[in-house]
Structure 1
Amino acid sequence: MNWYVVYTKPKWEKKVAERLNAIGVVAYCPLITKESQWSDRKKMVQVPLFNSYVFVQIEEKERNRIFEVVGAVRYLFWLGKPALVKDSEIEAIRSWLSVPETYEVAAEQWKKGDKIVLESGPFSSQSAVIQEVKKNHYVLILESLGCVLKVNKKEI
Structure 2
Amino acid sequence: MKWYVVYTKPKWEKRAAEQLTKFNINCYCPVIKKIQQRSDRKIKVEVPLFNHYIFVQLAEKDRNLVFHSPGVVRFLFWLGRHAVVKDQEIETIKEWLNTGDTSSEISVMQYQIGDKIHLNSGPFCDQNAVIKDITKTHYVLILESLGYVLKVKHKS
CA distance in 1, matches of 2:100, 2:82: 33
1:88 aligns with 2:127: no
Unaligned ranges ≥5, structure 1? 103-156
May I ask how many residue pairs the two structures share in their alignment?
A: 103
Q: Partner of 1:3 in structure 2?
A: 3
Unaligned ranges ≥5, structure 2? 103-156
Q: Partner of 2:51 in structure 1?
A: 51
Q: Partner of 2:113 in structure 1?
A: none
Q: Which amino acid counterpart does residue 46 of structure 1 have in structure 2? A: E
1:5 counterpart SS class: strand
| Aligned counterparts, 1:29-68, within 5 A | 29-68=29-68
Once the two structures are TM-superposed, the CA of residue 101 in structure 1 deviates from its matched residue by 2.2
C-alpha RMSD of the superposition? 1.3
Q: Partner of 1:21 in structure 2?
A: 21
2:51 counterpart SS class: coil
CA distance in 1, matches of 2:86, 2:65: 21
Q: Which amino acid counterpart does residue 11 of structure 1 have in structure 2? A: K
1:93 counterpart SS class: helix
1:61 counterpart SS class: helix
Q: Partner of 2:109 in structure 1?
A: none
Q: Which contiguous aligned blocks of 4+ residues in structure 1 show a shift greater than 3 angstroms?
A: none
1:100 counterpart SS class: coil
Q: Partner of 2:98 in structure 1?
A: 98
Identity %: 59
CA distance in 1, matches of 2:100, 2:15: 26
1:24 counterpart SS class: coil
2:16 counterpart SS class: helix
Once the two structures are TM-superposed, the CA of residue 41 in structure 1 deviates from its matched residue by 1.1
